A and B are shown apart, each in its own frame.
Chain A
């Protein structure tokens, strides 16, 4: 199963400037695990030491928020993920 993941620009440092990745998984969590398998350094940009998503990371599935299911949200073939990071500057 192929799922397209759009990576937030602030995480490009962990992907060698790659903006999009193809991953597989049946849930958001599995897709992110596959992303981490491809780019191990990105783990610290997504997850805390407790293994939970950092609270300023939001995952959108087909342009809709995965909240509140987040990591357990089911994913289907052809879905598209966006990893976004909260920003606060002005």
Chain B
């Protein structure tokens, strides 16, 4: 039966199955879930690693880039020997070694308006691991249109932010962000996407298992320099260009 756990899986996931509120049922939910991770770089590395380790049933990983030396301070799924390889191939190889029970699909395409719906079709969740704002907006709109929960994260230097979007119910990226940012080579210390990506993965696991409080209508901002987390309250904007007209289940 789909989602039933094998003896090996019960042993592999034993320490999380015994978490209060998790149980075998939560683990079976993870196994049944298909997650689309948009990006296999700084954020994508910890997100994919911890979702694979946790036993998500299927991960689709999309990224068109190849591994460069300058990626290695933060994109920890890619190693020195991987320089020049496709990022999704490099990542998929590691993830399959980490957890052969998880199906990992590598998509070496740039995410665009033309293919984003196809890439997200059939998936239960979309996780934002992008390195630019326009593609984040595209993913946010796609998630809303397809009624798929969306897990946002972004980093810069020692700073990061995270927010979870439930279409039709909560504030979306368009309710919170109205601007564009100047194009630049953004600075980043590897530990920052590690912190933010792990928070995104935590949100995904909680959502799937159905425990805890999600970061919905809350924007969590991490300031690693001063080691502070600040939580801003955000509201669904009825005039939002992305979600203003969307009601849950009618995306």
Contacts and interface: CB of A to CB of B under 8 A. Distances in A.
Nearest to A87: B156
A88 B226 contact: no
Interface string A69-90: 0000000000000101011111
Contacts of A84: 221, 232
B156 A67 contact: no
A65 B44 CA distance: 29
A28 to B, nearest CB: 15
Contact of A86 (B128, B155, B179): B179
Contact size class for B? 35 or more
Contact size class for A? 20 to 34
B12 interface: no
B5 to A, nearest CB: 33
A56 B181 CA distance: 6
B48 to A, nearest CB: 13
B156 to A, nearest CB: 4
Nearest to A65: B234
A57 B180 CA distance: 10
Contact of A90 (B154, B159, B223, B225): B154
A88 B225 contact: no
Interface of A: 6, 9-10, 19, 54-57, 60, 63-65, 67, 82, 84, 86-90
11 contacts: A55-B178, A56-B180, A56-B182, A87-B154, A87-B186, A88-B130, A88-B131, A88-B181, A90-B41, A90-B130, A90-B155
